[in-house]
């Protein structure tokens, strides 16, 4: 799997029905009203680490295999 920036993940979440509900420090918290799922994205200037990326996708209910 290729690496992704936090901005790319935010765009993916927004396309999947998530909305930004609040910001706490350098972390943005997203919620999907349809599914009731919530996830947190750390907004740093580096690519997300593999484990962090998988955790965000798992919390959001997004299959990593379906990402372009």
The neighbour count for residue 42, using CB atoms within 10 Å, is 15
- Cα dihedral: 55, 58, 59, 61 (round 10): 160
Q: What is the pLDDT of residue 65?
A: 85
| List of the chain residues with pLDDT < 50 | none
Quick one: pLDDT at residue 32?
A: 98
Residue 40, token pair as written in the block: 């947190």
Question: Cβ neighbours of residue 21 under 8 Å, at least 6 residues apart?
Answer: 29, 30, 31, 38
pLDDT in the model for residue 68: 59
pLDDT value for 56: 97
At 18, list the tokens: 């998530």
User: What is the pTM (predicted TM-score) of this model?
Assistant: 0.91
Question: What CATH number was assigned to the domain covering residues 6-66?
Answer: 3.30.920.30
């Amino acid at each position: 799997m290729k690496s992704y920036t936090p901005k790319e993940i935010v765009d993916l979440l927004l396309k999947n029905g998530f909305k930004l509900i609040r910001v706490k420090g350098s972390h943005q918290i997203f919620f999907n009203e349809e599914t009731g799922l919530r996830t947190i994205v750390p907004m740093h200037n580096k690519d997300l680490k593999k484990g962090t990326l998988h955790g965000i996708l798992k919390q959001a209910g997004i299959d990593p295999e379906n990402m372009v």
